[in-house]
Amino acid sequence: MNENDLSLLLDRAAHRLDIDTARLVAGGAERGRGLRRRRRLATGGAAVMAVAAVGMAGVVLPDLVRAGQEPPTVTVEDGVLKPAAATRLARAATDSVATAEEDLLAGPCTQDAIDRLDGALGPTETVSCSPDGGWVVEAEGKRWEMRLAEGGDELHLRPAE
Amino acid sequence: MERTKFGDAGTEREFEELATAEAAGLYRSAWLLCGHREQAEDLVQETLAKVYDRMTRRFGTRIDNPAAYAHTTLVRTFLSARRLRSSTELPYADLPDVAGPDPAGGVDLRLALREALADLSSLDRAVVVLRYLEDRPVEEAAGLLGLSPGAVRNRSMRALARMRERSLL
């Protein structure tokens, strides 16, 4: 009446079982193939989701990054510009720099630069070049000379003559 | 580490050889764990399915001891399924097997053993199977079941006491 007796008892009972080995093996293999198919489908689905997520990140992240950037400080000289318009201009300048990866406003005003910056401005603003190659923006019904300080963190606006 | 190849015919053959060699042993353990023929067959097939999936996985590392892996998977699958089904289990008032003429006493022995094992918890039954049918050391059974060696010994003693109460030993 000890552990060996229990081992013998279990062994004796278990070895008298009628076992259909072929059915067990066939059933196990069939279920295994099903499991593998489901795993492959799940893996494929996960891969598609991953690609979609990377694609979405590529589209959304730049906007998020830009949204996280502080707009440049707007300094309005000798004139009145509503805060919303000033912020919009500052945001447009930041977007342009981030999108084109160059400091458009810090450089000379050219038609190519205007085209690129214009797309970043709102519908109420238009930009043009002054005779001396400076930037002029028309907003709130007025024309402003615009200058972005080096580094893009400060935007100066002055009523254009 | 050697890696298996996905869809390799050799791997399929390896699985069939392993399953054919181990199916009977797995079934005996499963029967003692489950106490029912159908549940035991289901458990063995589920175990073999997991082994198949593991052996044929594309980037899986080769199993060092497939037989031991299969038996370990069986016990873990049983305990996992028990945890999931524990709230829906109902005890049988009558045993489904009908004992026919049994001059050698085999059926009586199995029925008595099954009743005795049914009194034990799932974990106790797993301890009994690992320790006394598969003859695994206390430490190995403890590691496999996530118990301390002392807990395995206690559960073993409890199972022995239950068998004695039923005059099986």
Stated as kind and residue range, the H or E segment containing A26 is helix A21-68
Q: How big, in percent rounded to 5, are the helix, strand and coil portions of chain A?
A: 55, 15, 30
Percentage above 90 pLDDT, chain B: 37
* Residues A67-106: b if buried by 16+ CB within 10 A, e if exposed: eeeebbebebeeeebeeebbebbbbbbbbbbbeeeeebbe
Say which residue, B162 or A155, is predicted with more confidence.
B162
Q: Do B48 and A7 count as a contact with CB atoms less than 8 A apart?
A: no
pLDDT at B45 over 60: yes
Is the distance from CB of B37 to CB of B88 less than 8 angstroms?
A: no
Question: Across the strands, what pairs with B35?
Answer: none
What average pLDDT does range A6-30 have in this prediction? 88
**What mean pLDDT do residues B55-80 have?**
84
Residues 6+ apart with CB under 8 A from A21: B20, B23, B24
Judging contacts by C-beta atoms under 8 Å, the chain B residues touching residue A37 are: none
A70 or A20: which carries more pLDDT confidence?
Answer: A20
| Residue A9 banded pLDDT, cuts 50, 70, 90 | confident
Say how far apart CA A99 and CA A112 lie, in whole Å. 14
Q: Which of A2-16, A26-40, B21-35, B107-121 has the highest mean pLDDT?
A: B21-35
Which residues 6+ apart lie within 8 Å of B21 measured at CB? B67
Residue A29 to residue B15, Cβ atoms within 8 A: yes
Write the residue in B53, B106, B168 that is nearest to A16 by C-beta.
B106
Quote the pLDDT of residue A151.
58
Question: Which residue of chain B is at minimal alpha-carbon distance from A19?
Answer: B24
Separation CA A51–CA A62 (nearest Å): 17
Closest chain B CA to residue A39: B53
**Higher-confidence position of B135 and B102:** B135
Radius of gyration for chain B, computed over Cα atoms and rounded to the nearest angstrom: 18
Inspect the interface and report whether the beta carbons of A17 and B109 lie closer than 8 Å: no
Q: What is the per-residue pLDDT for A3?
A: 79
d(CA A51, nearest CA chain B) in Å: 21
- Is 70 exceeded by the pLDDT of residue A59? no
ipTM score of the complex? Answer: 0.75
pLDDT tens digits, A68-123 = 555 555 555 555 555 556 666 666 555 544 444 345 666 778 777 777 665 555 55
On the CB side of B100, how many CA atoms lie within 13 Å of its CA? Answer: 0
Q: Which of A4, A8, A9 to mutate to test the interface with B (most CBs of B within 10 A)?
A: A9
Question: What is the pLDDT averaged over residues A52-70?
Answer: 60
Angstrom distance (rounded) from CA A126 to CA A104: 15
d(CA A85, CA A67): 17
